[in-house]
Amino acid sequence: MERIYFDNAATTSLDPAVLEAMLPFMTEKFGNPSSIYSYGRESRLGIENARKSVAKILNAHPGEIFFTSGGTESSNTAITAAVRDLGCKHIISSPIEHHATLHTVEYLHHHDGVALSFVKVLPTGHIDMEHLRELLQNSTEKCLVSLMHANNEIGNLLDIHAVGNLCKEFDAIFHSDTVQTVGHYPFDLRNTPVHFVTGAGHKFHGPKGVGILYINENVKITPFIQGGSQERNMRAGTENLYGIIGFAKALEIATAEQEAHSAHINGLRMYMAEQLQQHIPGIGFNGDLYGKSLYTVLNVAFPKSEKSEMILFNMDINGICASGGSACTSGANAGSHVIRAINSNPNQIAVRFSFCKNNTKAEVDQVVAKLKELI
């Protein structure tokens, strides 16, 4: 059976050119980057060249880029450091953040007594900017604002500059989970009012288990992971050498082809939305599909029925990969906290379809035809 993969917001396939760039560092260039002999120096050079490449693409200084194990570690590091090192006693976040953020802010609230406020979310899934201003204005403590750039389930895009400028006005620290947007949108971090952003290689055809944390050069924090002096004393542990090489290569490819790929992917997303509306009565969409929205994600609300409740299972049997909300909780049946926050309709089933450069219109047609059968 031919498999159709429409779950690219969860992870993407590794680009063959990325694997090619990684292979030498998995075989003959295997030295520990901390060793002083030639094998080690070769590896160290690979890492520093990757760092320069990533920094150039994001318009940051190489000294502001730190390699991590992925988005979760990056967000944990930034949020914890803001409280521990930067004097933030009040966290403002939203109820629709990724669990890497939500669970961290809730942990700090319960264990360290940090005040925690959630900004209201509008029915479209966007952040209520007026409420955010109110929360910042009324806070007696220094704030950390942690809001994601694009929601991984419904695709809503945050105006990162507007939030950053608001944080500036109230002298707040701003962390944005940009895992869904690094590698998908152009970044200009030198001219973006943000203290921390994150990235994960496997969201744009790079390897799993490697990410970045951007720490603005004006911010001084202490390590989250204790140990050796790797990553300029900021992140202990032997570096994921070939992962780092792969991250940089994947980001280079994604950036070079961004315009063409985003147009192709958004075309597929809107075509599928149109086809579903045409062929399946009663469907809707979660999030702001026709407004400010991530071009890779389509979150469909199917009318609830005995058949639609089994939709993910039946799609899987038919070789179609999609997810019910976020893949990070795909094993749980508690439903999606994101969908609950914006759509309390008990008569709808949410399914997220997310696309990449390798998907085709023919695949969309096949999935829509299969959904007609299943529902």
Task: Give residues with Cβ within 8 angstroms of 190, minimum separation 6.
Answer: 59, 60, 61
Residues facing residue 5 across a β-bridge: 321
User: Tokens standing for 196?
Assistant: 């921390």
Name residue, tokens 């319960």. 110
CB 34 within 8 A of CB 228: yes
User: Tokens standing for 2?
Assistant: 């031919």
Measured in degrees and rounded to the nearest 5, phi and psi for residue 193 equal: -75, 75
What are the start-end ranges of the E strands in 177-328?
196-200, 211-215, 284-285, 297-303, 320-321
d(CA 371, CA 186): 35
DSSP state of 182: B
Residues facing residue 175 across a β-bridge: 146, 196
Measured in degrees and rounded to the nearest 5, phi and psi for residue 280 equal: -125, 110
3-state secondary structure 6-59: CECCCCCCCCHHHHHHHHHHHCCCCCCCCCCCHHHHHHHHHHHHHHHHHHHHHC
For the chain, how many helices (H) and strands (E)? 12, 12
Q: DSSP letter string over 272-302?
A: HHHHHHHHSTT-EESS-TTSSB-TTEEEEEE
321 is catalytic: no
The widest CA-to-CA distance across the chain, in whole angstroms, is: 67
Catalytic residue, chosen from 143, 321, 328, 356, is: 328
Burial class (CB in 10 A: 0-12, 13-18, 19+), 32: middle
d(CA 254, CA 357): 10
Tell me the three state secondary structure of residue 199: strand
**Residue 112 CB coordination number (10 Å):** 11
The catalytic residue positions are: 328
